[in-house]
Structure 1
Amino acid sequence: MKKVFSWLFVMVVLTGCSSGSQQAIQHFTPSGQNEFHLVVFYKDTPPTEEFQSSINGMKVLLARKNINTTVTYQKIDTGKKDYHELLQVQDRQILVFDYKGIRFNARNIEVLEGMILQVAN
């Protein structure tokens, strides 16, 4: 019985001590295999409507390939979390998460479009 409690204690401690970046990645990671989570990081102001329209176009393209996609526009420094420190992201950087973690990392929309087209074909 002592071994069980000792093992349980060790597991709880290890789970609680996981790195902040790993916790941030898990926060954005979808649970299913045919799911993507596109996270657009911004510093002060959210992306323009034109930028958001391009992201939505990629979401539609992926939906045609039966890949469910969620889009989040995430401020880099929320006060509680500083994603620049946790994930080394910059303004307008886009991370695409799948069930394994970070799948794509793009600093501009054109690069992301190329990556998405490779997946969609």
Structure 2
Amino acid sequence: MKIKCCKTNLLAVQDTMDILKGRWKVQIIAALCYDKMRFSDLQKEIAGVSSKMLSSELKDLEINQLVTRTVLSTQPISVEYELTDYGRTLKKIIENLAEWGIEHRKKITGKIPEVAEI
């Protein structure tokens, strides 16, 4: 069944983009798709994100109920993040974006991206 483009769909896309906008949120969600991660591990995984920006983006994702934050009783104290059940509903979208991105890079550059390039 094909859904026609309508104001309701455009509004839904805008709502989604408002939640996921920014340079880092989709990457954070993608990093958390398969396992929970400590803050420091997330920062290492996502090249170029500052501590301040990562913290801010994680807070936004937590407000939107996509991510949960758990303070671990370790010395020193560390914090772990994971997707909520609701956040995991984005996994298929993230996988589709990755597949599209790989195909797009092949189309534009003529080669399959290597791990180091992603």
Query: Same fold by TM-score, threshold 0.5 exceeded?
Result: no
- Determine which structure has more spread, i.e. the larger CA radius of gyration: 1
Q: Select the structure that is richer in helix.
A: 2
TM-score if structure 2 supplies the norm length? 0.34
Q: Select the structure that is richer in strand.
A: 1
TM-score if structure 1 supplies the norm length? 0.33
- Give the structure, 1 or 2, with the largest relative contact order (CA under 8 Å, sep 6 or more): 1
